[in-house]
Amino acid sequence: MQRRKDPGPCEEGAAPRLGRKGEAAAARYLEKNGYEIVEYNYSIFGSEVDLIARKDETLCFVEVKTRGTDNFGLPEEFVDERKRRKIIRAAKVFTGQKEYEDFYVRFDIISVLHKIDDIEINHIMHAFQEE
């Protein structure tokens, strides 16, 4: 299976740059835990999934939320119902491709707290599901 290249650094403001760092940290975390990154920033019909990862016969659609502080809440608390619906819609299109039609689908959130000297990663498996 061909792996999509990491989009790498780009010129942007502080918040998007922090988000990209969080996505890169989440991808490294997944790879260290036996996942293969299939897609970065998969986008279709106005929906985007930060990471699509595969482990065995499971395809994980991962929303990465990164914050520099938890003063206003934990990063995962910012994944609202509207965002979840968009991820599910994108997953349906992606899994409609023949090579993935028999995979088990899971929706995860990876919360990244990117503090000055530390990165905290919380992987929430089965964070939500299709109603």
Structural domains present in the chain: 14-128 (3.40.1350.10)
Which tens digit of pLDDT belongs to each residue from 25-79?
A: 999 999 999 999 999 999 998 889 999 999 999 999 999 998 876 767 776 777 8
Tell me what pLDDT residue 14 has: 61
Tell me what pLDDT residue 9 has: 46
Tell me what pLDDT residue 2 has: 45
Measuring CA to CA, which residue among 75, 61, 59, 83 is closest to residue 112?
Answer: 75
Predicted model pTM = 0.83
- φ/ψ of 101, rounded to 5, equals -65, -25
Tell me what pLDDT residue 106 has: 96
Beta-bridge partners for 55? 58
What rounded mean pLDDT belongs to the chain?
85
Q: Is the pLDDT of residue 5 over 60?
A: no
Comparing 16 with 48, which gets the higher pLDDT?
Answer: 48
Q: How far apart are CA 60 and CA 35, in angstroms?
A: 9
Contacts of 72 (CB under 8 A, 6+ apart): none
Q: How far apart are CA 125 and CA 25, in angstroms?
A: 17
Contacts of 105 (CB under 8 A, 6+ apart): 58, 59, 61, 91, 95
